[in-house]
Structure 1
Amino acid sequence: MRLFHVSDLHFGQEDREALDWFAGEVAEEKPDAVICTGDLTMRGTRREFAAAREWLKGLGVPMLVEPGNHDMPYYYNPIGRLLWPYRHYDALRAELSSELTFPDVEIVSLRTITRFQFRLDQSKGHVGGDRLEAALARVSLHMAKPLCLVACHHPLIEADTHSKASTHGGKRALAALARAGADAVLSGHVHDAFDKVVEIDGHAIRMIGAGTLSERVRTTAPGYNRLSWSGEDGLVVEPRSLT
């Protein structure tokens, strides 16, 4: 089984060379699915979402698309941000994205963005109780499968990267997911890849982050993660970068 994990496309400030390279990788290897962990756009505009929709549709494979903090109306549109923050994302997801479930692998959504937080930096992560409970219920429902992955935008705890997620409720959520039987959490946001095992409350869970396919690089080149799963080798993660 092969999955491609990509994040932070940032249409509006996308890297066209990186996007073409990734699309070529998909066409050549034909993964079972693509998981995109948010920030499809730069400012959440209709035009940016239309460009993201066209590109994602062209990949021609099943996909799960999570929202990122850049996928809500930007701060200069406070009314739109408060009243209909997910309008463009929800339309895209209804057309292109679906729950990904396979005989041996389950991928569970966990939304880590919110329209408003009581702190200055609204770009950081937030895990609400209702969203966490919904994710935990789905993990528990499929706990008999050998592999359960959770997909969200923000790393639930810091992963020693240049950028920070500062996710409110993230440590609690990671511990709850580990207790429920989730094997790994896939995320983006920080624009650098990472892969680490965290011991929390007596349980081990893996945190896997993808880089970016935009011009907004941090310390590494644009890239994505190639995930493969088998009963013999388990989950193998190969970061790939445009060099």
Structure 2
Amino acid sequence: MPSGSPSGGPLRLFHLSDIHFGLEDRRALDWVKDCIERERPHAVAITGDLTMRARHPEFRAACEWIQALDVPVTVEVGNHDIPYFNLYARFFAPYARFKAIEKLVETQLDLPNLAIVPLRTTTRAQWQRFPWSNGWVTERALGHTLEAIDALPAGTRVLVAAHHPLTERRADGKLLTINGTRTMEVLAGRKVMGIMTGHVHDPFDMVQQTPAGPLRMIGAGTLSLRIRSTPPSFNEIVIDGDEVKVTARNLEQVPTPAMQIDRIPENALPPRSPEEPVSPVATVPPVDPPVH
């Protein structure tokens, strides 16, 4: 079985996240689309938050943009993609607005000796806390992911795609990805190459130590106007054998080490306190764009 692309070389993925149609950065999106058309990556993984408020016009714009990408695409659901104001739709048809691209949502991509396996971290409601913006890996969601991994041929390399980083960020149970610690340990035990996520709008590339071994955590920045401490960006991920190289590509040509934060923030808001992680480039906006 080949170890990379069909020609035997490395595999190249583009990892996008948090596009937030409704508050998208049009210049950044045009640039990314041009990169995809010119460079033809083997696949594109979008790890959630296609929209700002899950409104129909936002989904239409998101679906049109994604459908124009002439490469294999998998799309994860983010917390902003579940209806916010329409509670009936949130509880009874939370993913109906993905209909135009439903075949791409949480779809496993099978590339030469590499599988991108989805993991759902969004829920319709969380009795433990409100608002419902942070992550929760339910037993059912984790079971689906593990079944997919275990069904792969022996030796297949695996990347997992989810929206929320899995770190359980606080001990008070308020701001964390519920069941994240156990999930990281289980994925590390399956020897996955890494988990790709979004949500915090700043890129990162770090290793989490678990009792079952290390787990690579790769986060993409945003392609929206809701920047945190980095300009809009996406990750280029090159897989060559067992090596994974991550480059945070951006229009400002900021080097990757200056783009990446070194720990996961407790929320997805701009850093306003000294203890919150800030990337070396530190392009923190004075105010966050208003959301209507």
Match of 1:207 among 200, 210, 217: 217
Cα deviation, 1:193-234, whole Å, max 9, x if unaligned, reads 000011101411100000010001100000000011112x61
Q: Distance in 1 between matches of 2:166 and 2:175?
A: 7
Higher RCO by CA contacts (8 Å cutoff, separation 6 or greater): 1
Question: In structure 2, what is the equivalent of residue 14 of structure 1?
Answer: 24
Residues 193 and 208 of structure 1 are in contact (CA less than 8 Å); yes or no, is this contact kept in structure 2? yes
Aligned 1:152-163 pairs, distance under 5 A? 152-157=162-167
Letter in 1 for 2:164: H
The alignment's C-alpha RMSD in Å is 1.8
TM-score, normalisation: structure 2: 0.77
Question: In structure 2, what is the equivalent of residue 107 of structure 1?
Answer: 116
Asked whether 1:123 is paired with 2:133, we answer: yes
Q: Distance in 2 between matches of 1:86 and 1:235?
A: 32
Residues 62 and 97 of structure 1 are in contact (CA less than 8 Å); yes or no, is this contact kept in structure 2? no
Q: Distance in 2 between matches of 1:154 and 1:165?
A: 12
Match of 1:33 among 21, 26, 43: 43
Residues 62 and 98 of structure 1 are in contact (CA less than 8 Å); yes or no, is this contact kept in structure 2? no
The alpha-carbon deviation at position 167 of structure 1 amounts to: 0.7
Asked whether 1:77 is paired with 2:86, we answer: yes
Q: Distance in 2 between matches of 1:165 and 1:240?
A: 29
Letter in 2 for 1:149: L
Question: In structure 2, what is the equivalent of residue 5 of structure 1?
Answer: 15
Question: In structure 2, what is the equivalent of residue 56 of structure 1?
Answer: 66
TM-score, normalisation: structure 1: 0.92
- Please state whether the residue corresponding to 1:59 is helix, strand or coil: coil
Identity among equivalent pairs (%): 45
- Please state whether the residue corresponding to 2:121 is helix, strand or coil: coil
List gaps (5 residues or longer) in structure 2. Answer: 1-10, 253-292
List gaps (5 residues or longer) in structure 1. Answer: none
Q: Distance in 2 between matches of 1:181 and 1:104?
A: 14
Structure number with larger C-alpha Rg:
2
Aligned 1:132-171 pairs, distance under 5 A? 132-142=142-152, 144-157=154-167, 166-171=176-181
The alpha-carbon deviation at position 166 of structure 1 amounts to: 1.6
Cα distance change on mapping 1:174 and 1:90 into 2, 3 Å? farther
Question: In structure 1, what is the equivalent of residue 269 of structure 2?
Answer: none
Question: In structure 2, what is the equivalent of residue 223 of structure 1?
Answer: 233
Q: Distance in 2 between matches of 1:201 and 1:189?
A: 26
Q: Distance in 1 between matches of 2:203 and 2:109?
A: 22
The structure carrying a bigger helix percent of its residues is 1
The alpha-carbon deviation at position 28 of structure 1 amounts to: 1.4
Letter in 2 for 1:135: T
Asked whether 1:89 is paired with 2:98, we answer: yes
Cα deviation, 1:26-81, whole Å, max 9, x if unaligned, reads 1111001100000000111111111001111112111000000000101x211111
- Please state whether the residue corresponding to 2:109 is helix, strand or coil: coil
Residues 207 and 214 of structure 2 are in contact (CA less than 8 Å); yes or no, is this contact kept in structure 1? yes
Residues 127 and 167 of structure 1 are in contact (CA less than 8 Å); yes or no, is this contact kept in structure 2? yes
The alpha-carbon deviation at position 143 of structure 1 amounts to: 6.2
Q: Distance in 2 between matches of 1:165 and 1:22?
A: 32
Residues 99 and 107 of structure 1 are in contact (CA less than 8 Å); yes or no, is this contact kept in structure 2? yes
Cα distance change on mapping 1:151 and 1:182 into 2, 3 Å? same
Cα distance change on mapping 1:168 and 1:84 into 2, 3 Å? same
The alpha-carbon deviation at position 7 of structure 1 amounts to: 0.2
Q: Distance in 2 between matches of 1:175 and 1:197?
A: 12
Letter in 2 for 1:16: R
Residues 5 and 37 of structure 1 are in contact (CA less than 8 Å); yes or no, is this contact kept in structure 2? yes
Question: In structure 2, what is the equivalent of residue 68 of structure 1?
Answer: 78
- Please state whether the residue corresponding to 1:236 is helix, strand or coil: strand
Cα distance change on mapping 1:156 and 1:135 into 2, 3 Å? same
